[in-house]
Amino acid sequence: MDGALRQILLLIDEAYSGKSWHGTALRGSVRGVSPAEAQWRPGRGRHNIRELVLHAAYWKYAVRRKLTRGKRGSFPLKGSNFFVRPAPGEETTWEVEIALLESEHALLKEAAGSLAEKDLHLRVRGSRFTREEMLRGIAAHDLYHAGQIQLIKRLMR
For residue 120, the SS3 value is: coil
| Displacement of CA 50 from its chain's centroid (Å) | 12
Where residue 48 sits, what CATH number does that domain have? 1.20.120.450
Does residue 28 carry a pLDDT above 70? yes
- Dihedral, CA of residue 97, residue 138, residue 5 and residue 24, to nearest 10: -70
pTM of the predicted model, to two decimals? 0.94
Give the pLDDT band (50/70/90) at residue 1.
low
Q: What is the mean pLDDT of residues 33-40?
A: 95
Name residues whose C-beta falls within 8 Å of residue 109's C-beta, 6 or more positions apart in sequence.
9, 12, 13
Does residue 90 carry a pLDDT above 80? no
What's the mean pLDDT when you consider all of the chain? Answer: 93
Q: What is the mean pLDDT of residues 114-124?
A: 95
How high is the pLDDT of residue 2? Answer: 60
Is-contact 48 152, C-beta < 8 A? Answer: yes
Q: What is the mean pLDDT of residues 121-144?
A: 96
Q: What is the mean pLDDT of residues 112-136?
A: 95
Report how many domains make up the chain: 1
* Gap between the Cα atoms of 32 and 30, Å rounded: 6
Query: Per-residue pLDDT tens for 45-84?
Result: 999 999 999 999 999 999 999 999 988 888 998 888 999 8
Does residue 152 carry a pLDDT above 90? yes
* Residue span of the structural domain in which 112 resides: 4-156
